[in-house]
A and B are shown apart, each in its own frame.
Chain A
Amino acid sequence: MENLKQELKLKILEELNLEDLTIEDLQDDTLLFGEKIGLDSIDALEIIVMLDKDYGVKIINQQQGIKVFHSIQTIADFIEESRKA
């Protein structure tokens, strides 16, 4: 789980071009769409693509997306749960 969270942080920083942020800014429970990180709707789409392409998991509706994209921790939990299912 720790490795997965670290990997997610690096991927999000790189693929979303968050060049003003470092991995220390992305704590496990940092709000991804809050003021500090400030992701937008296009970033959400990029994360959906990344989850599908790199982890083979799909977000099936908006409500699920809101829950999953809360933080790095919730994304990692979603990947782990999807892999078990």
Chain B
Amino acid sequence: MPKLSEIYISNWVHFNEKEMSLKGVPIHQNQTDSELKDFLVEVYKSSGLSYPKFYKMDNLSKSAFISAHYLTHESEVWKVSGESKKGVLIFNSVSSLETDYNFHKTYSPKDSIPSPSLFVYTLPNILIGEICIYHKIKGENLFFISESFDADEILAQCEQIFEFNALDQLICGWVDSFESKSNATLFLMERKVKQNESAAIKKLNKSNLELLYLNKN
């Protein structure tokens, strides 16, 4: 069973309504000041993905899904890891509040019919489902609501997940979306790291988590 000192952050991605960056390097910028929903589609279209279900997701799931794609798409280890060796651990502060609110509007006033497609996204952990379905992840997955980004809590949960689930890789981080603003920071954590990649990876510890989260741009 691996200890936390044996786990590394091999990649990290930041996404908000203005920019997407990979390891701190911008890869997409919202140069036309588009609304979040339009910027998400721009990023999706330039990603090379062909996954029509993306259009049906709410902004929270879209932010998580597209971030997870960029986080993993160049990882050779990710491609060959077993389905049960990969997991997802996500935190946020607003849960699915924006979609809850939009769903509520569909059955107000009285006697109007609630929207089934919005109802689907009235739980925040649906975003994990979207990532797991696409990436065929069958390992542990957990979603927590937290007031703010809490590196200690992330480390505590990572310890549990890696120790008891024999995972090789974990998509872990923070994904919030509310009032047309998103804030996603995802880390790819793993214990099988090639030696020649050592310069580009970080040890999993509190200071690195906070540093990478705060220095997002």
Contact = CB atoms under 8 A, between A and B. Distances in A.
A42 B113 CA distance: 14
Interface string B31-42: 000000000010
Nearest to A38: B52
A66 interface: no
A46 to B, nearest CB: 5
Contact of A17 (B55, B112, B113, B120): B55
Interface in A3-45: 16-20, 38, 42-43, 45
Contact of B52 (A18, A42, A53): A18
B46 to A, nearest CB: 15
Contacts of B113: 49, 52-53
Contacts of B120: 42
Interface in A40-60: 42-43, 45-46, 49, 52-53
Nearest to B57: A17
User: Which secondary structure characterizes the binding site on chain B?
Assistant: helix
A70 B120 CA distance: 24
B52 A46 contact: no
Nearest to B52: A20
A18 B14 CA distance: 28
Contacts of A46: 115-117
Contacts of A38: 52
A46 B117 CA distance: 7
Contacts of B55: 17-20
A38 B55 CA distance: 13
Given A16-B117, A18-B52, A53-B113, 7 more contacts: A17-B55, A19-B55, A20-B55, A42-B116, A43-B117, A45-B117, A53-B112
Interface of B: 41, 52, 55-56, 112-113, 115-117, 120
